[in-house]
A and B are shown apart, each in its own frame.
Chain A
C-alpha cells in the first residue's frame, strides 16, 4: 500500500500524483518506470517515474486517463492508497555529454521526457524541448520543461498554442538550422516512428521510449517483447529506451492493440458502474494481505 500525498489534475484527464515510495525515490533514475495495481483485482500497468524526492520519500507520476485502469487511478485523491507499486524498473536512460540534444514529446509523453531533459541538462548538454499536444489544454509540464531546457518549442494540432501542426514539423524546421547530436522521442508510437524516420538520413542518434503491454515488468512474462535490430528484446529489462532507427514500430503497434476489445469492454463497464474508491483505512491496517 502506497499513500498518495497529493493528486491534482494538470490538464483534462491528466492527473499528477505524488506518492509515498521511499525506496523507489532513493533508487530511481531518469527513464525508469514503476508497475502498479490500483486495487486488489487490478491489472499491472507500467508508468514512467517523472520525478523522485529521496528526502521526502516520494515519487511523481503523471497519468492520462485513457483505459479503465488509468481512469480508475485518476479517481484517487490525496490520502488514498495505491494497492501495489513496485520499482524502479527498466534500464535508466544513458545520459552522456552529447552536445546539442533535442527532446521531442507528444501528449503525456512530455511527463516522461521531463526527467531525461533534466538529466541531459545536468550532464552539460544544450537541451531543446519540442512539446506537442492536440490542443493548448493538453500541453503539460511546460514550466517544468522551461526550467530545465535551454529552449522549449511548442506545437498544437489545432494551433491553439505555439506552432500549428505536429512536433515533427517543428523538428523538421530545427533540423534545417541545427545538427543535434542526440534526440529523444517520447510519445505516441506513430510520432516516435516519424521522428526516427526524420533523423535517419542525418544519422542522428535517436532514442525512443517504448510503452509495451507488460504484466510482471521483470522479464518473466515476455509480453512486452519487441523487435529491435532484427532481434527480439524484452522492453521491461532491455529497455524501455531503444535506438529508434532499429525498432520495428509496426510490430509494436500491432502488439499494443492485442487487447483492444477487452480494453473497450472494461472501459464500458467502468463507465456504467465506476468502482468504489473509498478506502477503509482500518480494514487495510487489520488485513494488510489482500485476500480473495
Chain B
C-alpha cells in the first residue's frame, strides 16, 4: 500500500482497528500476553484515521503530553522508528504505557473523533511503535542527554513514578541513582501487573534503555532502613531525593476471618505469582495456593489482575465480589471485558462480612450481604447500602483482598521532618512534588494514594522539572 493522501471523509470511513487477542478459552489457561498487538498494516490503517487536528485535544488528555498527532502521522507514512523517537521525546516507557495506561480515560477520551465516531486507538499505536522498535532491535531512538551537571539525584523506588523521574533527570545531565527495595526493578510493574498484561521482558527492555542512558540502578536497598534520607543527602552526596515509593501497605476490611489460612492480600498473591513466579513452582521456590473456588474482593485493576491470575492457575470458579455496581468499578473497561470473556464471575452489589473456616482453619465460606446504591458519597459515586436480611454464603477456598493500599511507613518513620497527612501520605505540592523537607520531592501513590501508572509517571516527570530547577537555583518553598 502506497503512502496515500486521504481525504477527511476517507479517514472517517476507516473503522477503528481491533486489537488481535488470544482467544479467551485458550488464554485463561496461560500467562502469555492477552493482546497480541497490531501488525504493520493494521497500525498504518489505524494511524490514517487520525485527522491531525490543529487543536490537538488528545495531548491535553495525556499526563505526560506525548505529541500524539505527530507520532501518529509518522506511523501513517511508515516511519515507525521516527514515531518511536517522537514518543520518546516525552515518554521513555512507551511499551509499558501503551499497555497499561487507561487511554479511554485520557487521550482517547479527548480525541476529537470520540462521540460521533470511535476515537483513534492511540494506546494501541503507542504500543505498536514501541514493540516495532524493540523487535527491530533498534535502540537508536534515545534522546541525547544534556551535558553533565555534576549534580546527583537519588530516586527512591523503581516503579512508574521513579522511572519517569529518573529518565527526565538523566536527560537533563544529572547523575541519577534509582534505589529499589526488592531484588528486581519496576515496582508495581513487576510485582503487581501480571505477565499476561505486561510481559516482564518488555519491562526489562525499557529499564535497560534507561540504564544505557546512564541511570544507575541499585536493588535490595531500602531507603529508611539501609540508609536514611538524611544519609543520602549528606554522606551519600546526593543533592536531591525523589520519593516514588508507592502506596505499599495493603488494606484489609477488618472483618472476622481475614487472617484465616487461604486469605491473601492481592499484593501477596500477585507478588508470589509475578515477582516470584510461583506459577512455575517447584522449578522456582516460592509457592502459592491454587484455589478451586476463588473469591477476589474489590473492583479495581488489581482485583481484575488477581482474579484473572487465579483463573489461569486453574480455578474452577473465579469470582469478583464488589460492593458497588459495575458502573462504579474503578477497573479499566477493557480489563473488566477481558475478565468476563475469560469466564470470571461478577458478584456486584455484594459485600463480604465474614470469612468462615472449615474444621482445619482454612477459609471455607465467604458470608456476604447484598447491597443497593444510595445517595452519592464523598467520591461522587453512589454509596452502597446493605439490604437487610440479604445474607448469603459463597463457597471458597482462596480469598484475595484487593481493596487498595495505605501508605508504607518505612520512610516516614525514619524521616521525622517529612510531613504526612493523617493517612500517612507524604504531603507534596501537586505540581513540583516539593515536600516539607528541603531537597526532598515526592510523587505517585505515596502522595495521592493508590492511582494509576501514568498518573505516577506524570508526577515523576513534573517533579523532575522541579528538581532540575532546584538544582540550578537552590531555592526552596513549600506551601501546603
Contact = CB atoms under 8 A, between A and B. Distances in A.
Given A41-B284, A232-B254, A254-B261, A218 B181 contact: yes
Interface stretch (A124-132, A186-194, A258-266, A276-284): A258-266
B287 A221 contact: no
Given A222-B250, A266-B282, A88 B225 contact: yes
Contacts of A41: 277, 280, 283-285
A291 B265 CA distance: 28
B248 A220 contact: yes
A150 interface: no
Contacts of B287: 43, 259, 262-263, 266
A285 B249 CA distance: 35
Interface string A82-103: 0111111100000000000000
B200 interface: yes
Given A23-B226, A27-B226, A218-B222, A292 B409 contact: no
Given A222-B268, A258-B289, A44 B276 contact: yes
B252 A222 contact: yes
Nearest to A42: B285
B286 interface: yes
Interface residues of B, number: 46
Interface residues of A, number: 45
B156 to A, nearest CB: 12
A158 interface: no
Nearest to A259: B287
A157 B69 CA distance: 77
**Interface of A, helix, strand, loop or mixed by DSSP:** mixed
A220 B249 contact: yes
Contact of A84 (B183, B271, B410): B183
B201 interface: yes
B250 A68 contact: no
A220 B271 contact: yes
B221 A86 contact: yes
Contacts of B22: none
Given A86-B220, A88-B225, A232-B252, A222 B267 contact: yes
B257 to A, nearest CB: 11
Contacts of A85: 220
B227 interface: yes
A42 B276 CA distance: 8
Contacts of A68: 285
A89 B285 contact: no
A269 interface: yes
B452 interface: no
Contacts of B265: 221-223
A291 B184 CA distance: 10
Interface in B272-300: 272, 276-277, 280-287, 289
A225 interface: yes
Chain A CB within 10 Å — which of B184, B282, B283 has the most?
B282
A222 to B, nearest CB: 4
A117 to B, nearest CB: 24
B182 interface: yes
B282 A257 contact: no
Contacts of A290: 183-184
Given A69-B285, A86-B226, A232-B259, A219 B248 contact: yes
B6 interface: no
A227 B259 contact: yes
A255 B261 contact: yes
A41 B408 CA distance: 27
Interface in B88-123: none
A225 B276 contact: no
A237 interface: yes
B139 interface: no
Contacts of A243: none
A216 B181 contact: yes
B282 to A, nearest CB: 5
Interface in B223-242: 225-227
B262 A258 contact: yes
A247 to B, nearest CB: 13
B427 to A, nearest CB: 20
B200 A215 contact: no
B261 A219 contact: no
B361 A223 contact: no
B433 to A, nearest CB: 22
B39 to A, nearest CB: 26
A76 interface: no
Contacts of B286: 43-44, 215
A24 interface: yes
Given A44-B276, A262-B287, A216 B182 contact: yes
B387 interface: no
A87 B226 contact: yes
Nearest to B408: A219
A215 B254 contact: no
Contacts of B409: 219, 237
B179 to A, nearest CB: 11
Contacts of A136: none
Given A23-B226, A86-B181, A232-B254, 5 more contacts: A41-B283, A222-B250, A234-B249, A237-B408, A266-B287
22 contacts: A41-B284, A68-B285, A83-B183, A84-B219, A86-B183, A88-B225, A89-B225, A215-B271, A215-B276, A218-B181, A218-B248, A219-B408, A223-B268, A232-B254, A237-B408, A237-B410, A251-B259, A254-B261, A258-B289, A262-B281, A269-B282, A292-B201
The 7 A-B residue pairs with the shortest CB-CB distance in the complex, in nearest-first order: A262-B287, A221-B268, A86-B220, A43-B285, A222-B265, A43-B286, A84-B183
Interface of A: 23-24, 27, 37, 41-44, 68-69, 83-89, 215-216, 218-223, 225-227, 232, 234, 237, 251, 254-255, 257-259, 262-263, 265-266, 269, 290-292
